[in-house]
């Protein structure tokens, strides 16, 4: 792949002009100037991208792909059960719903440059099958809950089915797994010890949404006299194997605690803004050496899977919260959207940057558009202004999944037809329930 610019993410802030990625057997064999690549390698095929910037594919460190079928369902709506997103996710969750919603989400991810996502959908087996058809890379959540669902009736069944799924796919290079803790109060349960022991034994992380709103903090104080993070600390579960999502309500001593324990944080800025959850103190976390990644949150809450937009929002919001226009520069924002996410998921040795030996998970973005000209600084322009419509090509493990803006492994027309069918079914039943 020959490109006008390559931004490898490692080393930090590097912008390589007129460089090439040499890919063999799905992995990056070399990254070197294009002239040298043409002399040293006799490639059977060559991709020429003279107006593009190549970056590592985005890593969406937290989402719920199945919920794409509820995108916009409850926007600005009063919190009544019939129009509550969480209520309807549970109500409609079937393997068919998850499969169709997953493929809809994956189409959107590819079209906006994402090559890897950490998913918290129910029926992870349906997501696994969709991932294999699509060719994306995914980290699938093995749900853990005491609340019965269509997927499992008891916590023991959740665990057994999740571990069996992980065992089935453990040799698939595109699939990895996490324990997905469905409710933050569960973090204080005695059985959490079993989960963390299993996480260590299986070498998989665990993730949970925590400190996501002021209301959550108030409920925790009323119920236990402690903030949620304090309950988690008292149980002894904080470790580098934990991923905590949102974290918009943090005190300075809690940030220091996260830094000491090695916990990873996933910031979902657009969802937090849309749902009025508060502001994650990203700059303070990074200054304390906490690894901060980016996610889009559940699609029904955040409305999309566009990591370019998420990265731009994170960069601008951090400056506003810190009251400092120089904080969180473009290189740091891009790192949050790529390598930091890979690190949180335990995948940093394989993805997240464009280094020889890593999988060729690559996104090409066309910068020769009026909206991005004149182009003084490609990294700055990419982070602060480029749009998803400029994503032209995407590869995962060297396999091209988006070519000149067109999906190569997914049938967009079929996906849209199924989404329209779900909209009719959900809309009709919701109207009937509200009017009853």
Structure-token match 């595109």, residue found? 174
Residues 6 or more apart whose CB falls under 8 angstroms from that of 227 comprise: 211, 217, 220, 221, 254
CA angle 295, 299, 305 (to 5 degrees): 55
Structure-token match 């997103």, residue found? 85
pLDDT band at 74 (very low <50, low <70, confident <90, very high): confident
Report the share of the chain in percent with pLDDT over 90.
75
Using the predicted structure, report yes or no on whether residue 98 has a pLDDT greater than 60: yes
Report the share of the chain in percent with pLDDT over 70.
94
Using the predicted structure, report yes or no on whether residue 356 has a pLDDT greater than 80: yes
pLDDT tens digit string along 233-259? 877 778 898 999 999 999 999 999 999
In degrees and rounded to multiples of 5, residue 239 shows phi and psi of -165, 175
Using the predicted structure, report yes or no on whether residue 40 has a pLDDT greater than 60: yes
User: Cα(330)–Cα(383) distance, rounded to whole angstroms?
Assistant: 6
pLDDT band at 433 (very low <50, low <70, confident <90, very high): low
Contact of 132 with 171, CB cutoff 8 Å: no
Using the predicted structure, report yes or no on whether residue 318 has a pLDDT greater than 90: yes
Structure-token match 């079928």, residue found? 69
Using the predicted structure, report yes or no on whether residue 303 has a pLDDT greater than 90: no
Quickly list DSSP for 313-367.
HHHHHHHHHHT-TTSS-HHHHHHHHTHHHHHHTT-TTTSSS--TTSB--EEEEE-
Provide the pLDDT for residue 234. Answer: 76
Nearest one of 410, 424, 432, 419 to 136, comparing CA atoms = 410
Q: What is the mean pLDDT of residues 148-158?
A: 89
Provide the pLDDT for residue 89. Answer: 65
Contact of 161 with 151, CB cutoff 8 Å: yes
Tokens of 112: 């906006």
**Is residue 54 classed as helix, strand or coil in its secondary structure?**
strand
**Is residue 156 classed as helix, strand or coil in its secondary structure?**
helix
Tokens of 381: 């322009």
pLDDT band at 78 (very low <50, low <70, confident <90, very high): low
User: Cα(53)–Cα(109) distance, rounded to whole angstroms?
Assistant: 18
User: Cα(350)–Cα(347) distance, rounded to whole angstroms?
Assistant: 6
In degrees and rounded to multiples of 5, residue 349 shows phi and psi of -75, -15
**Is residue 421 classed as helix, strand or coil in its secondary structure?**
helix
Provide the pLDDT for residue 41. Answer: 94
Provide the pLDDT for residue 107. Answer: 97
| pTM of the predicted structure, to 2 decimals | 0.95
User: Cα(97)–Cα(106) distance, rounded to whole angstroms?
Assistant: 14
pLDDT tens digit string along 369-408? 999 999 999 999 999 999 999 999 999 999 999 999 999 9
pLDDT band at 81 (very low <50, low <70, confident <90, very high): very low
Domains in the chain and their CATH numbers? 2-55+354-404 (2.30.40.10), 58-344 (3.20.20.140)
Using the predicted structure, report yes or no on whether residue 288 has a pLDDT greater than 60: yes
pLDDT tens digit string along 9-29? 999 999 999 999 999 999 999
Provide the pLDDT for residue 362. Answer: 98
Q: What is the mean pLDDT of residues 334-344?
A: 98
Provide the pLDDT for residue 82. Answer: 46
Residues 6 or more apart whose CB falls under 8 angstroms from that of 153 comprise: none
CA angle 90, 422, 124 (to 5 degrees): 45
Tokens of 82: 């019939």
The residues facing 297 across adjacent strands are 63
Using the predicted structure, report yes or no on whether residue 79 has a pLDDT greater than 60: no
pLDDT tens digit string along 176-215? 999 998 765 566 677 788 888 888 899 999 999 999 999 9
């Amino acid at each position: 792949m020959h490109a006008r610019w390559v931004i490898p993410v490692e080393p930090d802030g590097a912008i390589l002009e007129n460089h090439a990625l040499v890919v063999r057997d799905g992995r990056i064999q070399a990254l070197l100037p294009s002239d040298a690549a043409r002399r040293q390698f006799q490639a059977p095929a060559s991709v020429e991208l003279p107006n593009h910037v190549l970056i590592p594919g985005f890593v969406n460190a937290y989402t719920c792909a199945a919920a794409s079928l509820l995108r916009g369902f409850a926007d600005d709506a009063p919190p009544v059960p019939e129009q509550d997103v969480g209520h309807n996710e549970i109500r409609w969750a079937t393997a068919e719903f998850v499969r169709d919603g997953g493929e809809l989400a994956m189409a959107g991810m590819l079209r906006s440059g994402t090559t890897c996502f950490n998913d918290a959908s129910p029926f992870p087996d349906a997501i696994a099958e969709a991932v294999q058809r699509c060719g994306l890379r995914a980290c699938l959540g093995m749900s853990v809950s005491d609340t019965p669902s269509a997927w499992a009736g008891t916590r023991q069944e959740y665990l057994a089915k999740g571990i069996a799924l992980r065992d089935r796919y453990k040799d698939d290079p595109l699939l990895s797994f996490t324990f997905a803790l469905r409710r933050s109060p569960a973090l204080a349960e005695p059985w959490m010890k079993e989960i963390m022991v299993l996480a260590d034994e299986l070498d998989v992380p665990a993730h949970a949404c925590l400190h996501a709103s002021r209301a959550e903090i108030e409920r925790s104080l009323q119920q236990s006299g402690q903030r949620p993070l304090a309950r988690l600390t008292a149980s002894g579960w904080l470790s580098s194997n934990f991923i905590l999502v949102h974290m918009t309500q943090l005190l300075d001593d809690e940030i220091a605690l996260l830094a000491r324990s090695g916990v990873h944080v996933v910031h979902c800025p657009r969802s937090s803004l849309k749902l009025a959850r508060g502001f994650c103190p990203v700059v303070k976390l990074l200054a304390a050496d906490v690894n901060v990644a980016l996610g889009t949150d559940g699609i029904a809450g955040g409305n999309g899977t566009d990591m370019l937009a998420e990265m731009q929002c994170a960069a601008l919001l951090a400056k506003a919260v810190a009251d400092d226009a120089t904080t969180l520069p473009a290189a740091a924002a891009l790192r949050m959207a790529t390598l930091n996410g890979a690190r949180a998921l335990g995948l940093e040795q394989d993805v997240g940057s464009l280094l020889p030996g890593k999988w060729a998970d690559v996104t090409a973005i066309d910068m020769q558009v009026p909206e991005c000209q004149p182009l003084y600084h490609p990294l700055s322009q990419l982070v602060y202004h480029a749009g998803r419509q400029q994503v032209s090509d995407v590869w995962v493990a060297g396999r091209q999944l988006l070519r000149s803006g067109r999906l190569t492994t997914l049938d967009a027309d079929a996906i849209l037809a199924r989404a329209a069918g779900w909209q009719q079914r959900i809309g009709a039943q919701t109207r009937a329930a509200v009017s009853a």
